[in-house]
A = this chain, B = another copy of it.
């Protein structure tokens, strides 16, 4: 049995060496599948979240998103989107924190849970806790139909990433982000914060997303070169601001999980409040910085650590004016992402961690001590 399972897995892998690599490359398809029914209409329908979605979502006053690990990073991006696009106050909290503290419930808040498996123990317990406190409305974003979170939530959105085998989440994350973006637009429409014109622009951006990601995947050879210089490092510092700060966190988590490099993320503005002391040639700084102003600030912050060998690696977009120079390396993503920029910037970070792990020879799909779904506390 074991042998035939292996063979089945090998067959599934096709030309890929690992499931993680396969799943990274499947993202254009996973996103297109997740969006297929949604974009088949000529406007976004609230009922993609359930038949009662329109009436429930019209009445909510705030959004509270609860998740763990990678899903929590999706929650953090969604907070920026929901406040900016829908003008609704939004908080994101780690499930194990929420369930064990005294919080102030608001029956008019929407509790949103996110989990690839829909079975994450802390997230399930947090949802139960929220209901016990009097929260009436819940929505979940999962990748597994009939999962516990879907059964226990009033509304739901099923991502169509397909089975995710690699322990380090990739396509589940980007499809979660798309689902959350749809939620932000839907909430914005219901509150008249999103005009018909804006809605059409958002829909167009979503239609172009799979193809944009396909273009970004072509950066793999450039990312491999960076991975080669990373694999021998013990540390890395990831910086981002705004909607890209959670992506810096996700990039750091990926590197931790599979390459065992101690990568940590900070909001870029906090660099001078502590972590700058750590930067030297053993701790490269990776900036997710589509914005020129931020890059300039980072360059000036890092000026003083150049003497200690501090190196800056920047993921910029096509309009950024930065170019590589001693101590600063740049990979430029094609196109401009707008609100979807966090999704685009996720891709090279996934590739970076994957190739760093390959260099180190770790067990990419099954990193030590981590389980695919954390179904116990």
A residues with CB within 8 A of B: 68-70, 72, 80, 83-84, 87-91, 94-97, 100-104, 106, 122, 234-235, 241-243, 245, 253, 256-258, 260, 262, 264, 267-270, 272-279, 283, 297, 304-305, 308, 367-371, 374, 377
Contact = CB atoms under 8 A, between A and B. Distances in A.
A84 B100 CA distance: 12
Nearest to A266: B94
A50 to B, nearest CB: 25
Contacts of A304: 369
Contacts of A369: 272, 276-277, 279, 304-305
A130 to B, nearest CB: 14
Contacts of A245: 97
Nearest to A82: B104
A96 B267 contact: yes
Contacts of A80: 101-102
Given A106-B89, A274-B257, A96 B262 contact: no
A96 B270 contact: yes
Contacts of A270: 68-69, 72, 94, 96
A179 to B, nearest CB: 20
B253 A278 contact: no
A184 to B, nearest CB: 11
Contacts of A84: 101-102
Given A83-B103, A262-B264, A304-B369, A242 B277 contact: no
